[in-house]
Amino acid sequence: MSVEEALEWIHSRLKFNIRPGLSRVEGLLKLLGNPETELSMIHVAGTNGKGSTVAFTRSIFMQAGLKVASFTSPFIESFGERMSINAQAIPDEKLIYYVEMIQPLVEKMDADEVLAGITEFEIITAMAFRYFADEKVDLAVIEVGLGGLLDSTNVITPVVSGITTIGLDHIDILGSTIEEIAAQKAGIIKPGIPVVTGNIELKALRVIWEVARKNTARVYQFGYDYKVELEAAEHFTFQAKQEILPHLEKSLVGLHQVENAAMAIELALVYADKVGLNLTEEVIRAGIREAFWPARMEKLGEKPLILLDGAHNVHAMTRLLENLKAEFSGRKLTIIFSAITTKDIQHMIRMLQTVADSRLILTTFDYPKALKLADFEALEDEGVELAPSWQAALVQLKKTLADDEVLIVTGSLYFSSQVREFLLENRKTAQL
């Protein structure tokens, strides 16, 4: 089997199953020997900020010398990065090995009326746990795929859980109110397992508090149990209990990354306390400074400055606009945006239209659910430009924008992934 054939088989499974529940992933994990029970884990849910928080957390423990696995989605560079060890994607030969191991088990399950129809995400969740257990990692940091309560990853019992943010996203699946979505995210809270919360509004926090109370789970709350103080040049001071870490330097650009970094520090401290691990100030500083996460205010070019940011929903777009105002006020901006049809595209476009001294270009990309430009032709009367080819638009902008201008590429993470690959490849060949 080639890696292409392995991936083709994985992708051939349904994306989502109309029968919610954890029975299928639990069934596959049982056939695999329940590898999740062999792992020490941190579980991270939230509307936005999960990936960055995982990246900061992973980096801290890597600096401490641990062998750290991470399970994330979606991928930006390669499919294998979804299940990484020490920030290295699963090798192709290992991916093939686990597909060949799991295929006959899935065929067996498909013959069972109750367990039939296991999805792609359920399969790769189980695959990741088996891979991490076989590699005997010290810690696995697990990102929730969608929601929390019924997410495939919610079969685990972590040492500590985290909920980054709560916003209106995936409302067709998770609910149409902040409270309903908070209840889904809070579904990862387990009896007696502490939970760290990010910068979450009060009405969502109340839901989390109630779920935690019922589970006798200690809550470590942003702004109360741990705090941040912003300093110049996006440096910050972290404070929790007796712990004060001034002048922290973070690797990821954007003011919101201060909150993600702070939550990662708190997760790391709570985890370390629970397992008896000593995390030094030097380790924490290095972890925050060295973390890497692609397509989050990532710089991919200069003169003009090219930034890539996967602001794929309204909540993330709000953060992007805050960053643009703070970082680039007074500079001329060109924004290329695209998204998938399951998102609130109109709202995000309206938000982007409010950016001062900016030019907005709407485009589409190669993805089944990508927006169709024909649906947005009326926006041309409002000054929004439509670009059928984002590749051609990028090449032209690189030639015509002044050196002191800023080009922002944003929207769907699937879009960001394609743009990132294009920019990096063309930078190698000096075409861009």
Each residue of 196-254: pLDDT tens digit?
Answer: 999 999 999 999 999 999 999 999 999 999 999 999 888 999 999 888 999 999 999 88
Give 18's pLDDT tier (boundaries 50, 70, 90).
low
Asked if 289 and 251 count as a contact pair (C-beta separation under 8 A), the reply is: yes
pLDDT over threshold 90, residue 176: no
φ and ψ at residue 40, rounded to 5 degrees: -95, 125
One-letter amino acid for residue 392 of the chain: A
Flag the least confident range among 35-39, 82-86, 146-150, 389-393.
Answer: 146-150
Residues 152-177: what's their mean pLDDT?
87
Flag the least confident range among 81-90, 208-217, 288-297.
Answer: 288-297
Report the pLDDT value the prediction gives residue 315, as an integer from 0 to 100: 87
Report the pLDDT value the prediction gives residue 16, as an integer from 0 to 100: 59
For the entire predicted model, the pTM comes to: 0.90
**In angstroms, rounded to a whole number, what is the distance separating the alpha carbons of residues 305 and 402?**
10
**In angstroms, rounded to a whole number, what is the distance separating the alpha carbons of residues 212 and 193?**
9
Report the pLDDT value the prediction gives residue 162, as an integer from 0 to 100: 98
Which parts of 4-153 are beta strand (E)?
41-45, 68-71, 83-85, 88-89, 139-143
Report the pLDDT value the prediction gives residue 431, as an integer from 0 to 100: 53
Give 17's pLDDT tier (boundaries 50, 70, 90).
low
Each residue of 245-270: pLDDT tens digit?
Answer: 999 999 998 888 999 999 999 999 99
Contacts of 225 (CB under 8 A, 6+ apart): 219, 240, 241, 266
Domains recognised in the chain with CATH numbers: 3-290 (3.40.1190.10), 298-428 (3.90.190.20)
